[in-house]
Every structure is written in structure tokens, then in C-alpha cells.
Amino acid sequence: MIFRLNRTLVFPDPSLADEDGLLAVGGDLTAERLILAYQNGIFPWYSEGDPVLWYSPHERFVIFPEEVRSSHSMKQLIRSGKYEVTWDKDFAEVIKQCSQIKRKGQRGTWITQDMIDAYTDLYIKGIAHSVEVWDGDKLIGGLYGVETGPVFCGESMFSLEPNASKLALIYLCQNKEYKLIDCQLHNPHLERMGGRYMDRSTYMNYLNS
């Protein structure tokens, strides 16, 4: 059953989501609603021109920071010091690049201007964060997401040079004190780095720990 939201700041029980994780439609992207959503294992995901769609997958794809895997070439890249990695230095450019990157099988982007504005507001409030990878003064990769207690909910990442987004993720795992990195949905790239599925009840235990 898909629920329709109104102006009231409330979400239905996430366990009532459809098989594909779709839980509700409508509402808005205010900071208050987004914070409540993430606290309950819910996130927005929709295309330009569509109403806001809210998802809560029955299984999440996650990475335990201590289990993140680096290939031999990645370890060499890290040791070389070729790139500089920073935290919250240029959130605006990271989310912009994530919105523009072309992805296989997608005609457009789900990171609409409304999404950019909403997550920028969360960044200003100290809730959303970014990791940047620099080659000199050129931004070549990064990621952004939302901090929900001990969990970092990753939203998107991009690379303009090979392995730049991987470097950002490894930095996040090794330099920030999160118990869990929530990747939301599976992809082979993250699986090779140590991603695994986690059921909702276990995931919610991490959120609430």
C-alpha cells in the first residue's frame, strides 16, 4: 500500500512499504521532514516533474567501515598521496557534479534543483556532509550524504578520474567515526568494496543505537 502524505509531519510505518521499497508519495523536502525520514530509515527518490516519492527498502545495502576493501591499485594510490581528500570543503560543487554525472541506464537525474536546495539546507544545518577529492585545485571526485546518529546515509558519488569516488568512500570509512555506511541500494562497485545486505530491523537498531 502506498500512502499519500499531506502537510502533517508524519510518515507511515516503514515496514508497510511495497516490495520495491516505495512507501509514500507527496509531502515536501523541508529539513524537518527529511530529518524525520532518515531517522526512520526513509529517503526521497524521484525524477523531475514527478511528486516526491519516499522509499524504505526491506533490505539495505551497507558497508561496515572496518570492513571496507581496497584493491592493490587503490592502496598504491592512497600511499602515493597524489590526491588530497577533504571533508565539507565544497558541498555545493559535489552535489552539483553528482547531479550532472551520466549514469548507465538513466536518461536523467533524480538530483533535481529542489533536491539540491533541500540537501544544501541540511548541509548548512550541519546534517548533510561531503567528501571531496582534489587534484591540485581541481575537484575530481567526491560523495555526499546525511548523518543520522552513528549512520552515514550516502546519497550519491561521482568521479572525473579513475578511482576518485572510491578514494572518497575509503576516506569516509577510515577517518570518520560511523558505525555504518548506508549505501541504500546495491551496485557491483560497492559490493566489491565490501557492501552487503542488511534487513530493516537490524538497520533500524543501528540507527537507534
174: domain CATH number?
Answer: 3.40.630.70
Given this model, what pLDDT does residue 187 score?
A: 87
| 44 and 76 co-located in one domain | no
| 200 and 117 co-located in one domain | yes
Give the start-end residues of each E strand in the chain.
Answer: 3-5, 22-26, 43-44, 53-55, 59-63, 84-87, 128-135, 138-148, 151-159, 180-184, 196-199
| 53 and 78 co-located in one domain | no
> Given pLDDT bands bounded at 50, 70 and 90, which one contains residue 110?
confident
| 52 and 70 co-located in one domain | no
| 127 and 101 co-located in one domain | yes
The whole-angstrom separation of Cα 107 and Cα 57 is 23
| 92 and 168 co-located in one domain | yes
The string of pLDDT tens digits covering residues 3-25 is 999 989 999 999 999 999 999 99
Given this model, what pLDDT does residue 103 score?
A: 58
| 117 and 183 co-located in one domain | yes
pTM strictly above 0.85: yes
| 92 and 188 co-located in one domain | yes
| 67 and 124 co-located in one domain | yes
Given this model, what pLDDT does residue 144 score?
A: 98
Tally of structural domains, the chain: 2
27 within 8 A of 18, measured Cβ to Cβ: no
| 203 and 162 co-located in one domain | yes
| 17 and 53 co-located in one domain | yes
Give the range of the structural domain holding residue 124, as residue numbers without chain letter.
61-207
> Given pLDDT bands bounded at 50, 70 and 90, which one contains residue 62?
very high
| 13 and 25 co-located in one domain | yes
